[in-house]
Amino acid sequence: MKSLLKTENLVSYIGPYTILQGVDIEVGHGEAVVILGRNGAGKTTFLRTVMGLVHTRSGILELDGQNLAGMPTYAIQKLGIGYVPENYGTFDLLTVEENLRLAMWKEDAETMERRDYVLDLFPDLKVAYKKYSKTLSGGQRQMLSIARPLVNNNKILLIDEPSKGLAPVIIERVALALREIKKHTTVLLVEQNFALACAVGERFYIINEGKTVENGVMEDLIKDKNLQAKYLGI
């Protein structure tokens, strides 16, 4: 399997603090991979490091063999990495339509087709298309946040804890949408909600104290109660 996103011994820092201290992750084309770990383990920082929002100190960080370390965030995104940040990252003063348009690389027929596809995927957004996103519920904002990068032809989608702060019934809808999305796009999901992680992920990595400590296929983790207790507190 040729890897799409690859990190090896990745170390990154925020100010004087080294947060990631050796993360090895490989995601292949078309895969759905989940990163698990406790609060503060470095999962969000890992995604932010890939996006260039946190500085890389050393190690390998590549997309399709191209080095991403040191590149500005906007250029990394343009290489084909869609990013769904923690806490939605939707823009309150923009309508749903404007949030989507802002994300578009160009407004051609192909992009509009993809927009129609995401509006079918999230009918709530179609209803609220002209509304300011500050008027949306938490679940709708999460849907908008996931929908936004899908208007472009990304190689991979990084999604940071989409279940955060949502009611269980909404999480189920998000899970269904992610299962649909992963049919077309490579997905790297950071998640604390084990049920959602299991519903989406085929393989997993566990990050603990800034390092990858375990990885494997999702079915093995589901069976391995010791591993769950040790690193996930389940």
Partner 1 sequence: MGTLITLIVSGLAEGALIFLMASGLSIILGMMGVINFAHGTLFLWGGYAYMFSYYTIRARVILSVFPDAFQTGTQGGLLEVTGVQLQTGQVLPFTQELFIFVVSILIAVAVVFIMGIIFEKLFINRVYGNAPAQILITLGLQVVFTDLVRVIWGPNMIPMSRPPFLDGVSSFAGGRIAHYNVFLIIVGATVAIIIHRIITKTRIGMVIRAGLQSPENVEALGINIRKYFTVIFASGAALAGLGGALYMPLVGNVVSSAGMNNQILAFIVVVIGGLGNFMGSFLGSIFLGLMGVIVAVFLPAISVVANVLVMAIVLVFKPEGLFGKAVNK
Which residues here bind partner 1, judged by CB under 8 A?
51, 53, 72-75, 77-78, 83, 85, 89, 91-94, 98, 101-103, 105, 134, 148-149, 152
Sign of CA dihedral 44, 47, 53, 57: positive
Those residues with Cβ within 8 angstroms of residue 7's Cβ, 6 or more apart along the chain or in another chain: 23, 24, 25, 26, 46, 50, 59, 60, 61, 62
In the complex, minimum distance from the CB of residue 33 to partner 1, in angstroms, rounded to a whole number? 20
Q: Cβ closer to partner 1: 91 or 117?
A: 91
In the complex, minimum distance from the CB of residue 75 to partner 1, in angstroms, rounded to a whole number? 8
> Please, how many CA atoms are within 13 Å of residue 148, restricted to the half-sphere of its CB?
29
In the complex, minimum distance from the CB of residue 56 to partner 1, in angstroms, rounded to a whole number? 16
Q: Cβ closer to partner 1: 13 or 91?
A: 91
Q: Cβ closer to partner 1: 101 or 173?
A: 101
In the complex, minimum distance from the CB of residue 176 to partner 1, in angstroms, rounded to a whole number? 25
In the complex, minimum distance from the CB of residue 205 to partner 1, in angstroms, rounded to a whole number? 22
Q: Cβ closer to partner 1: 70 or 168?
A: 70
In the complex, minimum distance from the CB of residue 225 to partner 1, in angstroms, rounded to a whole number? 37
Q: Cβ closer to partner 1: 12 or 77?
A: 77
- Sheet containing 3-14: order of strands: 17-28, 3-14, 55-63, 66-67
Q: Cβ closer to partner 1: 98 or 202?
A: 98
Q: Round to whole Å and give the CA distance between 38 and 227.
A: 12
Q: Round to whole Å and give the CA distance between 67 and 92.
A: 34
